Amino acid sequence: MTPQLHPSVVATTTDSGMVLLHQDSGRYYELNPTGATIVQSLADGTDPVQELMRRTSVSQDRAAQDVSTFLQSLHSRGLVVQR
């Protein structure tokens, strides 16, 4: 299964990262550049762990842990679904 943004979520890139709008709830979520990198990689169909490692100096284990934790947080808020 691959995580994807919920169909009701709109993502907009900003100068400081990204903003997600869940149209069903009307809630906005502001992401920092790291969160934006992960969400953008999902939208692009690339591996968020590899993309995070490419853009930062974190190890593969740390990147995998961070991505997993972040995606769980998005999932618990209804922003990400498994497809």
What is the rounded distance in angstroms from the CA atom of residue 78 to the CA atom of residue 56? 27
Three-class HEC string of 24-81:
CCCEEEEECHHHHHHHHHHHHCCCHHHHHHHHCCCCHHHHHHHHHHHHHHHHHCCCEE
**What are 6-29's pLDDT values in tens digits?**
999 999 999 999 999 999 999 999
Tokens of 37: 């990198």
pLDDT bracket for residue 83 (50, 70, 90): confident
